[in-house]
Structure 1
Amino acid sequence: MSPVPTVRGPYAKSAERRSRILEAGIRVFAAHGYHAGSIQRIADEVGISMSGLLHHFDSKAALLAAILERRDELSLEFMDVDSHHGIDLLRALIALTAYNQSSPGLVELHCMLSAEATSADHPAHDYFVARYETTVGAIETAFAEAADAGQLTAGISPPEAARDVTALMDGLQVQWLLTGGAFDMAVLLRAHLERLLAVPL
């Protein structure tokens, strides 16, 4: 069998540089926010010129969009609504929370940008509106499916539980960052979900 070919040359270097720009963008936007985080600072972190950065991302907004897309790709590795249903999706939510703890930069980015993006003129405003709608909807569906399977505690409303869990996750992330990661978010999320369910996770 022939060996699997590897990507070499300028294409590999270009992909590597693009990845480094995204990582630097995550750090800068997480630390300074979108408006105060300049693309010059990002270029400096990568060690390239401004024109070099703009060769890969033609604007600051395009770079932000790529960062958010990358974050969603990582999330989908854990929480794919097409393949997870009912309490399986809730288990995936716990796994995603555990993963996030290994990437504090992404947690900080989410907290910073979601707060900034409440302003209607922020370039990520529509993204976060849609993202929260999708997230709450997926969790609500998971609770409704759990109810249909007799796995939800009597009296629990799936729409209310979905909002509750989403708010809990956001609040835990802020506290986790402020305490320097002093507690396990996934453990607390699991405990809360099990109080809403009639079966263990």
Structure 2
Amino acid sequence: MIPTATIRKPRGAYAKTAARRREILEAGMDVFATNGFRSGSIREIAEVVGMSQAGLLHHFSNKNELLAGVLELRDDRATEYVDTAGQADIETIRGFVRLIDYNAREKPGLVELHCVLSAEATSPEHPAHDYFVRRYAWVLSFLTEAFEAMQAAGQLAIGIDPTSAARGMIAMSDGLQVQWLLTPDSLDMAQEMRNYLHPLLAVEL
């Protein structure tokens, strides 16, 4: 950890720019969460923060960078449900399931944004490509650590590979999101994730 004495706070114009960028991302998260990815627009975000569209995009290289920034902010706020600073263990898995439930109930527009942008960003040329590569690598590593800790604690079923369990959980989450977006009333994403995890565990989730 970097000692706090060595950390310098942003000053002057840089601090104002960072604060403005954060304000734009927070407004974007609210707009997309409320109106959905397709209905939400840069114009609406600009109106919320009292800027022109050109002025808003001045803080980002393009619209896709703004969208990826909104998803990064969503990830930051997810720590309310998943403690990413502590030891990964069974509580990490429980937290992810609670987060899936929360996103379905409160943030459907951001679920849509994630699905659309992650699919488009599979192209190496896409502005959000690096963000999603980093994100999936981190999520895989974190979930693998959780399953490894569970295995050491005797909470994982015999023969379950922690990395495969983590990959399966990510794939299940992504697939459920697409199915849920197509037919929202046809499934409970959190419950389906619990059903997937049940045979992998030696304890109740």
> How high is the TM-score relative to the length of structure 1?
0.78
Give, as a single letter, the amino acid of the residue that structure 2 aligns with 1:42: I
* Residue of structure 2 in register with 1:83 after alignment: 86
What does residue 23 of structure 1 align with?
A: 30
- Please give the alpha-carbon distance, in whole angstroms, between the structure 1 residues aligned to 2:115 and 2:121: 10
Corresponding residue of 1:135: 139
1:66 counterpart (64, 69, 72): 69
Q: Are 1:188 and 2:192 counterparts?
A: yes
**More displaced, 48-57 or 100-109?**
48-57
Match of 2:98 in 1: 95
1:121 aligns with 2:96: no
Quote the Cα distance in structure 2 between the aligned partners of 1:100 and 1:84. 24
Instruction: Please tell me whether residue 146 in structure 1 is matched to residue 150 in structure 2.
Output: yes
Partners of 2:155 and 2:120 lie apart in 1 by: 37
| 1:8 aligned partner | none
Structure 1 unaligned blocks of 5 or more: 1-13
Give the superposed CA RMSD. 2.7
1:43 is displaced (CA, Å) by 1.6
Whether the aligned pair in 2 keeps the contact of 1:30 and 1:113 (CA below 8 Å) is: no
Which amino acid letter does the alignment assign opposite residue 119 of structure 2?
A
Structure 1 stretches of 4+ with a deviation exceeding 6 A read 14-17, 26-29
- Distance in 2 separating the partners of 1:93 and 1:138: 11
Distance (whole Å) between structure 2 residues aligned to residue 143 and residue 63 of structure 1: 33
Is the deviation greater in 23-32 or in 96-105? 23-32
Aligned ranges 1:103-114 → 2 under 5 Å: 103-114=107-118
After superposition, the Cα gap between the structure-2 partners of 1:28 and 1:118, relative to the gap in structure 1 and judged at 3 Å, is: farther
| Unmatched tracts of structure 2, length 5 or more | 1-19
From 157, 163, 170, the equivalent of 1:159 is 163
Q: What is the rounded CA distance, in whole Å, between the counterparts of 1:57 and 1:128 in structure 2?
A: 17
| Count of matched residue positions in the alignment of Structure 1 and Structure 2 | 181
Rounded Cα–Cα distance in structure 1 between residues aligned with 2:23 and 2:85: 32
| Whole-angstrom distance in 2 between the partners of 1:182 and 1:96 | 19
After superposition, the C-alpha distances for 1:83-115 in whole angstroms (9 at most, x for unaligned) are 253111110011111111021101101100110
Which residue type is aligned with residue 27 of structure 2?
Answer: R
- 1:73–1:129 CA distance, 2 compared to 1 (3 A): same
In structure 2, C-alpha distance between the alignment counterparts of 1:113 and 1:16, rounded to whole Å:
20
TM-score (norm 2): 0.76
Aligned equivalents of 1:95, 1:75: Cα separation in 2: 10
Compared CA separation, residues 104 and 165, structure 1 to 2 (3 A)? same
Q: Are the counterparts in 1 of residues 35 and 109 from structure 2 also a CA contact under 8 Å?
A: no
Alpha-carbon distance in 2 for matches of 1:185, 1:52 = 39
| Equivalent residues of 1:22, 1:66 under 8 A apart | no
User: What letter is aligned with 1:83?
Assistant: G
Question: Match of 2:97, as an amino acid?
Answer: I
Secondary structure of the 1:101 match is helix
